[in-house]
Amino acid sequence: MPFDRGNRTYYVSDDRLRAFRALPAEEKLRWVEELAAFLRLAQPVESTATSEVKKVGQTT
């Protein structure tokens, strides 16, 4: 069963949102860059076996 990317929720309190809003632009950008780096690391890695199956199934 594939993972539904739209089936996620995350709650952020009003206090946390106010704290983020109060940060200077440089700190907000740093936070966003760190989040993006984390998300890249957390992405599933395609296995070699999956790559091989795709290669075999491709028609060119």
Residues 6 or more apart whose CB falls under 8 angstroms from that of 46 comprise: none
Q: What is the pLDDT of residues 32-49, one digit of tens each?
A: 999 999 989 988 877 666
List b or e across 41-54, with b for residues whose CB sees 16 or more CB atoms inside 10 angstroms. eeeeeeeeeeeeee
How high does pLDDT run on average in the chain? 82
Q: What is the pLDDT of residue 51?
A: 59
